[in-house]
Structure 1
Amino acid sequence: MPKGSDDTPVLTQVSVLSLALTAVFATGAFIFAQSVGKALSRVNKLVTAWLFFDALIHFTLEGPFIFWSLVSTIEKSTHVTAQVWKEYALADKRWGVSDPTIVSLEILTVFITGPLAVFLIFAILKNKVYRHFIQIVLCVCELYGGWMTFCPEWLTGSQNLKTDNFLYMWVYLVFFNGIWVLIPILLLCQSWMEMTGTGQVKQTKVVESVTTTSDTRKYNTRSHNKKRE
């Protein structure tokens, strides 16, 4: 089995099952978006898939984390729902010991961010006028959570982070936290474009270009027919 620089196994049974569960969630999210969002644009289908994946992670994984962290700690829990967090705690020790900052952020995530993701799915599917307001609030919450998760740790020397193991560093810490930074930023850009009309202007130009091309072809066809007559 591959090992990290400290001879710690890179892949364990729990890590493989955790990654597989994440892949199942992602696949289910895309299937959900395709089935309920048939009338949506490609971009909005992708947004819907992300939101469904986001909500699944918040409710099914982070919900149990809050429970076990409040009644005891992840390290002491033997329940199956705590195993994924025991694995993640190998990369960031704070998740195993009921760190007050982490638990506080997860409470915010499960009870506010999760429902907002579900509400935003509804707003997208029903084309509600408040869609982008909800999207902005959700993205700010996600970015705030990421910042407050890592900034205090960086300021204190990252003593709880394990960075000498490829899986823990680049998959758990960088990749899985990075997507909750990158995607919210992209969604904020989308909201900005829609609210300022930038996106609509581009769509209008495309429609005008297609219409002009179509009219030109019709005119050329009529002219060609007249010449033949």
Structure 2
Amino acid sequence: MADLPLHPFSPFAIELPTYVANTISAPVLVSIFAAGCAVIFLITYGIIQRMRPSMGSGEMAVAMWFALCGCIHLFFEGYFSYNAFDMASKTDIFGQLWKEYALSDSRYMSQDAFTVCMETVTAVFWGPMSFFCVYFIIADHPLRHPFQIIVSLGQLYGDVLYYAICTFQEVVFDIVYCRPERFYFWAYYFLCNFFWIVIPLLLIRQSVNEIASVFAKVKAASAGKKAQ
């Protein structure tokens, strides 16, 4: 009995003396998270309908994306950043959600330097700036695309480093942070983070094209005035 791991996270050798097991099952935790996302979308939709009902579906989807990012970055990841040095003992909803996710990446339980710093930067900067993006999109503000590029590039950079460092640790040092069940790797570690690779890339391309188009029009207008 003494050789059994005292927690479910890989590698089992890491010490988590304050670990308390989750009391809510994984399907219920995932359902709660999905329901929270749905509420965020509904609230954002209601705000858009009140402030700018003529907004197209594409712009509405981007606004909802940044509203979701703002809530996840500021509140959920901010929770981790604030409690990073004792996550293993947390039994509230956010704490149990993080412990469920940590089955795919135990760095969230072991005060890993990169994870703590990366999540803190994400919460402090990309969280509030995501909410600014929502406002700028709804208000059709000129700062929308500069902010969209900054936030999306920050998300992309953080996610690439997240994948890269974990892969480096496994390939070079043979340290595996994910449990052996492939579900945790593909559903939690890969899929849940891959959204922050694909969508930021699309939004960066959109903003670059919009800014380039505006500069091209300004340049053409300036050339036309000089020719007169």
Percentage of pairs with the same residue: 25
Q: Does 1:186 align with 2:202?
A: yes
Determine which of 53, 60, 78 is the counterpart of 1:45: 60
Structure 1's 164 and 189: CA in aligned 2 closer, same or farther, altered over 3 A?
same
Please report how far the alpha carbon of residue 13 of structure 1 lies from its aligned counterpart in structure 2 after TM superposition.
4.2
Preserved contact between residue 75 and residue 123 of structure 2 (Cα < 8 Å): no
Cα displacement string for residues 107-136 of structure 1 (whole angstroms, at most 9, x for unaligned residues)? 111110000100011111111111100000
Greater than 3 Å deviation, 4+ residue runs: 76-80
Q: What TM-score does the superposition give when structure 2 sets the normalisation length? A: 0.75
Q: Which has the larger radius of gyration?
A: 1
Q: Which amino acid aligns with 2:192?
A: F
Q: Where does residue 83 of structure 2 map in the other structure? A: 68
Please report how far the alpha carbon of residue 96 of structure 1 lies from its aligned counterpart in structure 2 after TM superposition.
0.6
Preserved contact between residue 162 and residue 169 of structure 1 (Cα < 8 Å): yes
Please report how far the alpha carbon of residue 39 of structure 1 lies from its aligned counterpart in structure 2 after TM superposition.
2.3
Take 1:87 and 1:169, find their aligned partners in 2: how far apart are those partners? 12
Q: Where does residue 122 of structure 1 map in the other structure? A: 135
Preserved contact between residue 76 and residue 94 of structure 2 (Cα < 8 Å): yes
The CA RMSD measured in Å over matched residues stands at 2.3
Q: Where does residue 27 of structure 1 map in the other structure? A: 38
Cα displacement string for residues 140-173 of structure 1 (whole angstroms, at most 9, x for unaligned residues)? 1101111221212212226233263243111101
- The aligned length equals 187
Take 1:149 and 1:14, find their aligned partners in 2: how far apart are those partners? 27
Preserved contact between residue 29 and residue 50 of structure 1 (Cα < 8 Å): no
Take 1:79 and 1:111, find their aligned partners in 2: how far apart are those partners? 22
Please report how far the alpha carbon of residue 32 of structure 1 lies from its aligned counterpart in structure 2 after TM superposition.
2.8
Preserved contact between residue 94 and residue 160 of structure 1 (Cα < 8 Å): no
Q: What TM-score does the superposition give when structure 1 sets the normalisation length? A: 0.74
Take 1:143 and 1:57, find their aligned partners in 2: how far apart are those partners? 15
Q: Does 1:165 align with 2:178?
A: no
Structure 1: 5+ residue stretches without partners? 1-11, 202-229
